[in-house]
Amino acid sequence: MQHGPAVRRRKLGAELRALRTSAGLTSGEAARLVGWHQSKVSRIETGTSGVKPADVRLLLDAYGVADSQLRELLMMLAGSDESGGRHHWWHAYRGVLPPTYRDFISLESQAGAMRTLETSVVPGLLQTPEYARAVTRAAVEGLPEDRLDTLVEVRLARQDVLRADPPLKLSAVLDEAVLRREVGGPGVMARQLERLVEAARLPQVRLQVLPFNAGAHIGVTGPFVIFSFSSTSDLDVVVLDHLTSSLYLERKEDLQAYTEAFNALQIHALSPEDSLDFIAGTAAGA
């Protein structure tokens, strides 16, 4: 269990090692190709030291990696400010957002799919501006109005991943408590439920409701997110949110456990069609 940057270094190193092996090179041969000492290649591959995006580019060129999507993803893991010529918009908020949040956004922006269990609030990617403001204000007491405006702005900007080409594929299981908890007052909640109905009809969004009558379930321990990357499953990661930080789980055993947990939650939850009716019915009674 590690903080985001450490996980990303290790994942990047493991992927670079796999690419070197596929290219039929030893670490010493790779080092000679790029003009380094062999120990630098070893440190990068074990994740014990950071690596500059320019160094990653050198290694990828040496290994003959032409897959633009994979190159873009690995450059992102190295902290590149550019990805396929697109500026990472969240860097403009570097002075406002904590590193763990920026790390989360960077993974979200590059992932091909996101699976999430939410037990208390609507997922950030599906929140209305009013709901996002109410949740943020409640989560951080005494927040100045201008800082609150900025955090809501970031939350809404994140939602662009659902409109990207290709869009992020979002699968969300919502505990019924998410729909019942009145955030921001009746009007705000009514509009938020309507937004969920709209989102549930999008082809890239799969929403399921886990009703109270489903009883105790594996998700009672808390919400989680699983990011999956289309280029390679070796970069998949689980994110657990805590009050003051986020933790990232990268081991295959952890990924398998949370994947199985999410699959079990989907089985016990209402179908997407029944969930849509459930949300609409809740909205009508709100």
Instruction: Report pLDDT for 199.
Output: 95
What backbone torsions phi and psi does residue 166 show, to the nearest 5 degrees? -80, 160
Predicted TM-score (pTM) of this structure:
0.80
Per residue in 159-190, pLDDT (tens digit) is 999 999 899 999 999 999 999 999 999 999 99
Per residue in 63-117, pLDDT (tens digit) is 999 988 788 878 877 765 444 434 578 878 878 888 778 878 888 888 899 999 9
User: How far apart are the C-alpha atoms of 266 and 249, rounded to whole Å?
Assistant: 21
CB-based contact 210:176 (threshold 8 Å):
yes
> Which class for 66: exposed (0-12), middle (13-18), buried (19 or more C-beta within 10 A)?
exposed
